[in-house]
């Protein structure tokens, strides 16, 4: 085929998704704060001059150079059902990833997708043989330089021609997993992704670890050395037979992967902080152009302001509620939140936690007074809404 990449019929127009009213409601299960709703629909992955868009294009180029066709999807609705995001992927009802402490729910049964794997089943069901699917995903998570509650993933799935898998016909479970056909799929998956990393980075230090996902087996993660530390960039594996069966493709076999575009872009452009992808600052955006891989020149790092907060926690304390509350009050100037001390008073039977919050703006100097005001507001809100006893 001359054009190996087919753009899906859906357009890249994500503006319809940029309506906060779609995400915030008074439904009792809704836990999407306004500062998260405001991020949806920005479509960073479809902007040609944004580092997330540039790296996505470079990844697509690589897949276009492979001998088989991948269909491209980039405009699915970020609101998905619990069936799409979890059930179709064998993620059990009690899995921690489904809990409202980790996931943004719109209603009981709809949510902001936590991974692009939420679209695997529908594309498999539609008859796709191989596809890529990119989009914004949302997770309530820790706060530091490489974690942000909204980020982008690119999913890839490839099924193998039936003839190549004929010898493994009818095999299931252990028998399938120890077959040469399963090993061949895993080997193709790894070499495809190693080829992608070489295409992106040239020679780079990488390592494979075994991993676990309910929807693939065997499963792996890939880490890349970045600034002296191993950074996890993707998860992948051989698609679980039950996932294929649930999509009416039980007679097929294949692989799938999901990678974090911010993590790869941070390595490629040497962008030190994941918050930068969301800035409106022209000193950031003027540095990037479609198709160009350049080292990001930090436009000065303003000094941090550190504040500690200590409190006695109630039994049902959810750390992510606390992290999100800080971001809700202070926004992206919250650079990092770390637990620095924890102890239990045996007499009271109570536990105290002390967190250090690093406040830093990427655009300007902060004054002590403004941070004190934010920290005071945080002390009030954690007491009122999280039921902690501030010390």
Q: Which two three-digit tokens encode residue 266?
A: 């941070």
N residues, the chain: 391
Choose one: 105-113, 161-169, 233-241, 346-354; the region binding Mg ion (CB under 5 A): 233-241
216 lies in the site for ligand FA5, by CB under 6 A:
yes
Between CA 291 and CA 78 the distance in angstroms is: 26
- Residue choice 69, 141, 144, 370 for contact with ligand FA5 (CB under 6 A): 141
Shortest distance, CB of residue 348 to ligand FA5, whole angstroms? 35
Question: Minimum distance between the CB of residue 7 and Mg ion, rounded to whole angstroms?
Answer: 29
Which CB atom, from 215 or from 311, has the smaller least distance to ligand FA5? 215
Interface residue with ligand FA5 among 236, 362, 371, 388 (CB under 6 A) is 236
Q: How far is the CB of 235 from Mg ion (least distance, A)?
A: 5
For 163, 176, 211, the CA distances from 172, given in Å and listed in that order, are 18, 5, 20
Q: Which pair of tokens denotes residue 3? A: 């054009």
List the one residue out of 37, 3, 12, 55 whose CA is nearest residue 269. Answer: 55
| Separation between Cα atoms, residue 90 and residue 121, nearest integer Å | 11
Our finding on whether 234 is near ligand FA5 (CB under 6 A) is yes
**Given the complex with Mg ion, which of 51 and 235 has the nearer CB atom?**
235
Which residues lie across from 105 on neighbouring strands?
Answer: 111
Minimum gap (Å) between residue 357 Cβ and ligand FA5 = 18
Residue 232 makes contact with ligand FA5 by CB under 6 A: yes
Structure-token pair, residue 93: 């009802």
Place of tokens 């753009």: 7
Q: Find, among 328, 314, 315, the residue nearest to 381 by Cα.
A: 328
Give the one entry of ligand FA5, Mg ion, none that residue 327 binds, where binding means its C-beta sits below a cut-off of 5 to 8 angstroms depending on kind.
Answer: none
Please list, in sequence order, all residues whose beta carbon lies within 8 angstroms of the beta carbon of residue 101, skipping any fewer than 6 positions away: 140, 318, 320, 321
The reply to whether 260 sits near ligand FA5 by the rule CB under 6 A is yes
Angle between helices 51-64 and 261-269 (to 10 degrees): 100
Measured from the CB atom, is 218 or 387 closer to ligand FA5? 218
CB of 124 to ligand FA5, least distance (A): 12
CA atoms within 13 A on the CB side of 386: 25
Report, in Å, the least distance between residue 102 CB and ligand FA5: 10
Minimum Å gap between C-beta 153 and ligand FA5 is 6
Q: Do 29 and 21 touch, CB atoms closer than 8 A?
A: no
Binding segment (CB under 6 A) for ligand FA5, from list 26-34, 260-268, 283-291, 327-335: 260-268
Look at residues 173, 174, 166 and name the one whose alpha carbon lies nearest to residue 245.
173
Backbone dihedral angles phi then psi of residue 79, each to the nearest 5 degrees: -85, 120
Stretch that binds ligand FA5, among 167-175, 184-192, 226-234, 245-253 (CB under 6 A): 226-234
- Pick out residues in 262-301 that bind ligand FA5 (CB under 6 A): 262-263
The strand pairing partners of 363, in sequence order, are none
Applying CB under 6 A, among 121, 153, 217, 375 the residue interacting with ligand FA5 is 153
Question: Taking CB under 5 A as the rule, does residue 235 contact Mg ion?
Answer: yes
Residue 322 site contact among Mg ion, ligand FA5, none (CB < 5 to 8 Å, cut-off depends on kind): none
Residues 233, 244, 326, 362: which binds ligand FA5 (CB under 6 A)? Answer: 233
DSSP 358-388: EE--SSSPPPHHHHHHHHHHHHHHHHHHS--
Q: How many CA atoms lie within 13 A of 37 on its CB side?
A: 14
Distance CA 345, CA 333 (A): 33
Report if residue 128 touches ligand FA5, rule: CB under 6 A: no
Q: Select from Mg ion, ligand FA5, none the partner in contact with residue 257, using the beta carbon and a kind-dependent cut-off of 5 to 8 Å.
A: ligand FA5
Mode of pairing for the β-strands spanning 70-73 and 5-7 = parallel
148's contact among ligand FA5, Mg ion, none, with CB below 5 to 8 A by partner kind, is ligand FA5
For the bound state, the minimum distance from the C-beta of residue 107 to ligand FA5, rounded and expressed in Å, comes to: 22
Binding site for ligand FA5 (CB under 6 A): 115, 117, 139, 141, 147-148, 151, 153, 155, 213, 216, 232-237, 256-260, 262-263
Binding site for Mg ion (CB under 5 A): 235
């Amino acid at each position: 085929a001359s054009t190996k990449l087919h753009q899906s019929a859906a357009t890249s127009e994500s503006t319809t998704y940029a309506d906060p009213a779609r995400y915030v409601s008074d439904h009792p299960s809704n836990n999407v704060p306004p500062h998260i709703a405001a991020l949806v629909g920005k479509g960073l992955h479809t902007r040609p001059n944004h580092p997330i868009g540039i790296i996505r294009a470079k990844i697509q180029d690589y897949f276009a150079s492979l001998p088989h066709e991948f269909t491209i999807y980039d405009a699915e609705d970020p609101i998905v059902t619990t069936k799409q995001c979890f059930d179709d992927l064998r993620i059990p009802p009690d899995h921690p990833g489904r809990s409202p402490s980790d996931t943004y729910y719109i209603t009981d049964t709809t949510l902001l997708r936590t991974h692009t794997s939420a679209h695997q089943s529908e594309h498999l069901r539609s008859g796709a043989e191989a596809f890529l699917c990119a989009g914004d995903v949302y997770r309530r998570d820790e706060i530091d330089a490489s974690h942000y509650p909204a980020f982008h993933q690119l999913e890839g799935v490839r099924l193998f021609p039936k003839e190549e898998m004929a010898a493994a016909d009818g095999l299931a479970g252990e028998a399938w997993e120890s077959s040469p056909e399963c090993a061949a799929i895993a080997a193709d998956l790894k070499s495809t992704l190693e080829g992608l990393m070489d295409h992106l980075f040239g020679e780079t230090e990488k390592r494979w670890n075994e991993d676990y996902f309910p929807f693939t087996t065997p499963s792996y993660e890939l880490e890349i050395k970045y600034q002296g530390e191993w950074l996890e960039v993707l998860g992948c594996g051989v698609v679980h037979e039950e996932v294929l069966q649930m999509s009416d493709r039980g007679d097929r076999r294949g692989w799938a992967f999901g990678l974090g575009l911010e993590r790869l872009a941070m390595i490629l452009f040497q962008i030190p902080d994941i918050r930068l992808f969301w800035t409106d600052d022209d000193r950031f955006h003027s540095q990037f152009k479609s198709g160009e891989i350049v080292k990001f020149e930090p436009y000065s790092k303003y000094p941090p302001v550190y504040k500690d907060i200590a409190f006695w926690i109630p039994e049902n304390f959810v750390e992510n509620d606390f992290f999100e509350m800080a971001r809700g009050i202070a926004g992206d100037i919250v650079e990092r939140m770390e637990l620095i001390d924890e102890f239990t008073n045996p007499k009271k039977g109570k536990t105290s936690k002390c967190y250090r919050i690093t406040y830093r703006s990427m655009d300007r100097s902060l004054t002590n007074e403004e941070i004190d005001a934010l920290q005071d507001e945080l002390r009030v809100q954690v007491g009122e809404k999280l039921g902690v006893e501030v010390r």
